[in-house]
């Protein structure tokens, strides 16, 4: 597999991909549209499917309101709308809702919201009085806007699937990251969860890395985006530590965890995450020299100013494209990950 530091690559050899029909673009029931949040990823998905993105007008009024109009007939079609809810989160979420509404009013047979990054997912339960559960609120908004189905990647917590009253297909970016790690032929790997809440994710990741041993970083969070690392549970001395998480936001948790792993004797530290949120000062923390590589996917676009030498960006376009085709073809999605 070809990998390029700081740029996207297209590969996922562990996916069980079935051959696509040669005349897929002649299937007049499948339509693919992109919001403005990640047009590069949408174009890569369209290229995998052998079709073009549908034409759409997107305008902004002087007061910030959005106007969207579909520029071709989609009556009776299965429409897939690709739009991650990344920064600016509120604008991108509202754009998705308006796109869904436009497609419903254009008499689409079925509308699927393809959300590579599901925003507002971290508030998924009440941990104190008078809190909002925004993960459920966003699920309600998407459903009420008229979506028939949702395709999401690496939700912050699995329970969010239950917040939807419509079908939801949950796929994972781990096969793409695992492919890359295996291509590096790393030795003496230990998979590390940056917190107790991510143990299930790290355990599943370790199992696919030839049942690599597991370690856990015990930390106590004092405030949002502020983490205090306490100690490491497990043996990392002399090993290649692979930190696994679903997202990297400000990078505080994962950078502090990497420093602790170094102090505990880890010979190398790699960071792996599906979603590169990269809110300041993430880039400074991640490029400080504690990581050999920071491996992420392109569910969220990463501007040039946020790229650094240790960054490796892997594309999930093939994975999303294959999933879209299987949903459209009424084929199994889960079999891709077995």
Q: pLDDT by residue (tens digit) across 234-264?
A: 999 999 999 999 999 999 989 999 999 999 9
Whole-number Å distance between alpha carbons of 129 and 124:
14
pLDDT at 13 exceeding the cut of 60: no
Are 201 and 195 in contact, with CB atoms under 8 Å apart?
A: no
Whole-number Å distance between alpha carbons of 243 and 72:
45
49-75, pLDDT tens digit by residue? 999 999 999 999 999 999 999 999 999
Query: Which residue did the predictor score with more confidence, 165 or 26?
Result: 165
Q: Could you tell me the two tokens for 148?
A: 């028939």
185-225, pLDDT tens digit by residue? 999 999 999 988 899 999 999 999 999 999 999 876 566 66
Whole-number Å distance between alpha carbons of 192 and 161:
25
pLDDT at 91 exceeding the cut of 50: yes
Whole-number Å distance between alpha carbons of 65 and 55:
20
Query: Which phi and psi angles does 150 have, rounded to 5°?
Result: -130, 135
Residues belonging to the active site = 219
Are 312 and 271 in contact, with CB atoms under 8 Å apart?
A: no
């Amino acid at each position: 597999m070809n990998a390029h530091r700081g740029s996207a690559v297209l590969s996922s050899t562990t996916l069980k991909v079935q051959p696509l029909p040669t005349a897929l673009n002649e299937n007049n029931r499948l339509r693919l549209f992109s919001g403005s949040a990640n047009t590069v990823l949408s174009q890569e998905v369209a290229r995998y499917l052998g079709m073009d993105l549908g034409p759409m007008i997107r305008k902004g009024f002087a007061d910030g309101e959005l106007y969207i109009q579909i520029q071709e007939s989609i009556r009776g079609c299965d429409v897939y709308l690709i739009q991650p809810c990344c920064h600016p989160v509120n604008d991108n979420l509202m754009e998705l809702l308006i796109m869904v509404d436009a497609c419903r009013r254009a008499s689409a047979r079925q509308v699927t919201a393809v959300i590579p990054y599901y925003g507002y997912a971290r508030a998924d339960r009440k941990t104190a009085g008078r809190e909002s559960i925004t993960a459920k609120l966003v699920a309600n908004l998407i459903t009420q806007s008229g979506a028939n189905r949702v395709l999401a990647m690496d939700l912050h917590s699995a329970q969010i699937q239950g917040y939807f009253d419509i079908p939801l297909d949950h796929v994972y970016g781990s096969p793409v990251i695992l492919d890359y790690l295996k291509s590096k032929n790393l030795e003496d790997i230990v998979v590390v969860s940056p917190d107790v809440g991510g143990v299930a994710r790290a355990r599943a990741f370790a199992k696919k890395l030839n049942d690599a041993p597991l370690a856990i970083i015990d930390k106590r969070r004092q405030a949002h985006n502020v983490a205090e690392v306490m100690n490491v549970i497990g043996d990392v001395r002399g090993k290649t530590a692979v930190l696994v998480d679903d997202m990297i936001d400000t990078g505080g948790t994962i950078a502090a965890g990497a420093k602790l792993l170094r102090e505990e004797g880890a010979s190398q530290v790699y960071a792996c995450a599906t979603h590169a949120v990269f809110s300041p000062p993430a880039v400074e923390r991640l490029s400080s020299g504690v990581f050999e590589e920071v491996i992420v996917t392109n569910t969220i676009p990463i501007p040039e100013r946020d790229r650094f030498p240790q960054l490796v960006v892997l594309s999930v376009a093939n994975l999303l494209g294959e999933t879209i085709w299987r949903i459209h073809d009424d084929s199994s999605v889960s079999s891709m990950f077995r």
